[in-house]
């Protein structure tokens, strides 16, 4: 009903009634952030130092395996269910054939084993892609002409998946955007008796300027060219829906949209259309942007962070990968 000043000298509805105090706002809140919505990405390195600060990701360090175990224990105590692991490897280990990605004693395999032994009930999500292992920083192998070799890459991703699964990873998260990788990985898992291994595919992953600090974090120096022949064009929506449909049909259990805030519309479309658990990655550049604004005094840190995370929930996300996870878990506990 609209307010008619002639019929009634007062508004027919007063939405502000339900905003007058914290308790009533809380009672009528349509969306809530819970600690179990959070997945915490951490970086592990193969250096002697326990921790090494990442310049572009204020407050985020690369960790030794022992330190990662400590963080996993703390995360679990705070109620975080899943940790996502990313490696930073010594430059000498990176090669054009990315063979370190399938090393049965590789850094991430060792990290999985150590965390599983110490904190058995935390979920371990691992990135399936070759960029931390290639000397050129691309997610796939290159052919003689410098182009991404899709099918040869998929074969490596399959081996990487089996290697990490054997090491104790619970959720494989292919972030490479090669065609056909989900089906190939799923078939290989089934054939090897790993029918319970979960796949969260980075199904709608866009070629984005917001990945800069991440590349710094994993030590990719000068990426030759860009990732636009495999990651999606930010102009497209329908293509994201096709990508998600393909990955689900090939055996993905959960899907992800990435980056987060600039692609909220995609999160909403995907979650509404497919009704499968839909995750969103608040990527490194989004994190860095908030930190920079806070540093300048333009924004309150915790309010800004919470507002972005609630936006993901509003858009229909089942969960959020965010570098703020541990801090937010502490805030939610307080």
Residues of this chain that bind ligand PBG (CB under 6 A): 127, 129, 131, 139, 175, 211, 214-215, 227, 283-284
Q: Which is nearer to ligand PBG, 73 or 103 (CB)?
A: 103
How far is 194 from 255, CA to CA, in rounded Å?
19
The torsion defined by the Cα of 66, 72, 74 and 77, in degrees rounded to 10, comes to: -140
The secondary structure element, H or E, covering residue 78 is helix 65-78
Q: Contact at 8 Å (CB) between 125 and 143? A: no
> Catalytic: which of 76, 116, 227, 258?
258
39: Cβ contacts below 8 Å, ≥ 6 apart: 80, 81, 82, 83, 84, 125, 279, 319, 320, 321, 322, 325
In the beta sheet, which residues pair with residue 172? 126, 199
H-helix or E-strand spanning residue 80: none
Q: Where on the phi/psi map is residue 59: left (φ > 0), alpha (ψ -120 to 50), or beta?
A: left
Residue 332 exposure: Cα atoms within 13 Å on the Cβ side: 22
CB of 334 to ligand PBG, least distance (A): 26
Query: Three-class SS of residue 123?
Result: strand
Cα–Cα distance between 103 and 255 in angstroms, integer? 27
Whichever of 27 and 222 has its CB closer to ligand PBG, that residue is 222
Q: Is 92 a catalytic residue?
A: no
Nearest CA among 203, 187, 278 for reference residue 246: 203
Is residue 317 a contact partner of residue 263, using CB atoms and an 8 Å limit? Answer: no
Catalytic residue check, 275: no
What phi and psi, each to the nearest 5 degrees, are found at residue 20? -75, -20
Smaller CB separation from ligand PBG, 78 or 84 = 84
Q: What is the DSSP string of 191-243?
A: HTT-TT-EEEEEEEEB--GGGHHHHHHHT----SS-STTTSBPTT-SHHHHHH
Confirm or deny that 295 is annotated as ligand binding. no
Complex with ligand PBG: residue 54 or 184, whichever CB lies closer: 54
Residues in a beta bridge with 61: 53
Active site residues: 205, 258
Annotated binding site for Mg(2+): 243
């Amino acid at each position: 009903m609209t307010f008619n000043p002639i019929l009634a000298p007062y508004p027919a509805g007063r939405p502000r009634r339900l905003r007058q105090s914290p308790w009533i706002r809380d009672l009528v809140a349509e969306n809530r952030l819970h600690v179990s919505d959070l997945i915490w990405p951490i970086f592990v390195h193969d250096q002697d130092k326990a921790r090494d600060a990442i310049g572009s990701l204020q407050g985020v360090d690369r960790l030794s395996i022992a330190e990662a175990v400590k963080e996993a224990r703390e995360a679990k105590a705070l109620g975080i269910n899943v940790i996502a692991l990313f490696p930073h490897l010594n430059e000498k280990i990176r090669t054009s054939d990315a063979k370190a990605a399938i090393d049965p004693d590789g850094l991430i395999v060792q990290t999985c084993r150590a965390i599983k032994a110490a904190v058995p009930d935390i979920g371990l999500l691992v990135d399936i892609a070759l960029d931390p292992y290639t000397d050129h920083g691309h997610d796939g192998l290159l052919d003689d002409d410098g182009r991404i070799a899709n099918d040869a890459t998929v074969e490596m991703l399959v081996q990487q998946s089996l290697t990490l699964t054997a090491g104790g990873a619970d959720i494989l998260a292919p972030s490479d955007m090669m065609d056909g990788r989900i089906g190939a990985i799923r078939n290989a898992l089934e054939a090897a008796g790993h029918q319970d291994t979960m796949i969260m595919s980075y199904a709608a992953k866009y070629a984005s300027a917001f990945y800069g600090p991440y590349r710094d974090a994993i030590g990719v120096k000068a990426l030759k060219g860009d990732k636009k022949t495999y990651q999606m064009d930010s102009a497209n929506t329908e293509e994201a829906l096709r990508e998600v449909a393909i990955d689900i049909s090939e055996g993905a259990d959960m899907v992800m949209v990435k980056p987060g805030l600039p692609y909220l519309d995609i999160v909403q479309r995907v979650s509404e259309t497919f009704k499968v658990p839909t995750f969103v990655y608040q990527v490194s550049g989004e994190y860095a942007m908030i930190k920079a604004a806070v540093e300048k005094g333009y924004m309150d840190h915790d309010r800004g962070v919470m507002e972005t995370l609630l936006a993901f929930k509003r858009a229909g996300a089942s969960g959020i990968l965010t570098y703020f996870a541990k801090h937010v878990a502490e805030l939610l506990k307080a």
